[in-house]
Each structure stands twice: as structure tokens, then as C-alpha cells.
Amino acid sequence: MIQSGRMFHSDVLLLDLEDSVPLTDKLAARILVREALEHLTFENEVMVRINHFPLGRRDLKEIVCERLDSILYPKCESVHDIEEVKDVLQKLEKNYAIDKEIEIVAVIETAKGCLHCEEIAHGPRVTALTFGAEDFIADIGGIRSQESLFFLKSMVAISAASAGIQALDTVYPYIDDDEGLKKEAEESKKMGFCGKGAIHPRQLSIINSVFTPSQEEIAWAQKVISVMKEAEEKGMASAALDGRMIDTPTLKKARRITAIAEVIS
């Protein structure tokens, strides 16, 4: 139950009101989420996946409260979808005297959504993009594979980067396949994703190990920063490190690594 989820030290705890809840149970589910938000303590960021509007309006009316950090909004197809959600959030935050701005994480899971990724990423309150593999594959009439998801994943990662927000990888559904999970997470990291959803707590340590900068990476990053600082002082925009040319893009990568390392520690 919800109370167990709290202790697994994930960065975000996601409570679902959408696909895992049958229509007949949605009312009870959103009331349960509200009670949990009001009476349990959570260390992690708390995110709720609401239903796509219009049903989602009822979800928000019920669950918007002080402890809610973010909304996962499914099947985003345009920035208009985001603006709709933002309007409702704004109204409810005012009516309930909530002193925060609840964030939005947009899920791209249709062909149309994929083609509107960039505008969605730039939408108000959107702090991250993610994608839904199964729905997307169903929408395009394809078969799930690395190839068939490549374009979607690229669009998500690139759009997120263009808006300066995070790209989050989707869940790996095979709970006992540690190797497969690691491989998929590593592939996503290469593409620019900075985190991944877990469908079971035992997946957390593997995901963290992939996305957390290693000691070697941090040491390398610190070296890059100091070497580039020296170069800058000499009036140069590039330098050599370990037999390789490094310049602004490398510095940007190094700064990202140290920033993540700092947040984690």
C-alpha cells in the first residue's frame, strides 16, 4: 500500500490514478491519495499521475493540497493540454491557499504528442518530460523495440534539453531482469535521460548506479573544470586533457556532473 512506498528512498514516489485504477474505483482512489497526502509523512517528492482531462479535473479538485509536489499528466499532445492543467492548478492553489506551484511532468505517448514535444517541453510549469512506450507503440501500430522507440526517445530528450528541463526514461517492466534493466538505463543515459522510473523497489539500486555519477566521473569532471579554468585565465577556449582536446561542451558536461553530485551528497 501507499504507506510502504515511502521508505524506499526513491527521489520521487508516484501514485497512480490513471491506468492502474478501473473507472469504478477512481473516486475511492483519489480520496485515498488525498488522505495519504494529508496524513502520512513522505521524504520523497510526491507525484500523482492523474487522468487526462476531463476526468483529471476531478482528480485535481480532490488531491491538490500542500504536500502534493507534482502532477504526471498522461497523453500530452500539445501545449494547450499543459495550459489547461496549469489553469486548474493555479485556481485550486489559490482557492486552497496553497503556497507553492505544483509542477507538471508531461508524458508523451502518442504520435501527435511526439510531434509536439518541443512546445510541450516549453509549456508552463513543465519540469520534466517522459514517455509511455506501450501506448506510443499502440498508437503508431508498431512493435516495441529499441528501433521503434528511438525517434520518440530522441524527441523527448532533445525537446527537454531545448527547454532546459529533465528527460526521464520510462519503466522497465521485467522485474527480475537486472541485466536488461541496466542495459536499457545505460542506453537512455547515453541519449540524454537523467533518470528512470522503477516499477519495483528492487530496481532502484541498479537505476541509481547507472544515473549517479561514479567517483571516477566526478574526479574527471573536477579535473576538466580546473583545467578549463586555467585555460580561460590564459585567454584560451580549449585545452588538452589526457591526450584529448576539451572545450566548452566538455566543460558543460563536467559542470552537469558536479551539479548532480552536489545535489546527491
Q: Where on the chain is the footprint of another protein (CB under 8 A)?
A: 1, 3-4, 7-8, 23-24, 26-28, 31-32, 34-36, 38-40, 55, 58, 200-202
Distance of CA 203 to the CA centre of its chain: 16
Cell of 103: 509542477
Q: Tell the smallest beta-carbon distance from residue 16 to another protein (Å).
A: 15
Q: Tell the smallest beta-carbon distance from residue 77 to another protein (Å).
A: 22
Cβ closest to another protein, residue 34 vs residue 86: 34
Cβ closest to another protein, residue 43 vs residue 134: 43
Cβ closest to another protein, residue 7 vs residue 138: 7
Q: Tell the smallest beta-carbon distance from residue 40 to another protein (Å).
A: 6
Q: Tell the smallest beta-carbon distance from residue 176 to another protein (Å).
A: 9
Cβ closest to another protein, residue 19 vs residue 35: 35
Cβ closest to another protein, residue 146 vs residue 209: 209
Q: Tell the smallest beta-carbon distance from residue 32 to another protein (Å).
A: 4
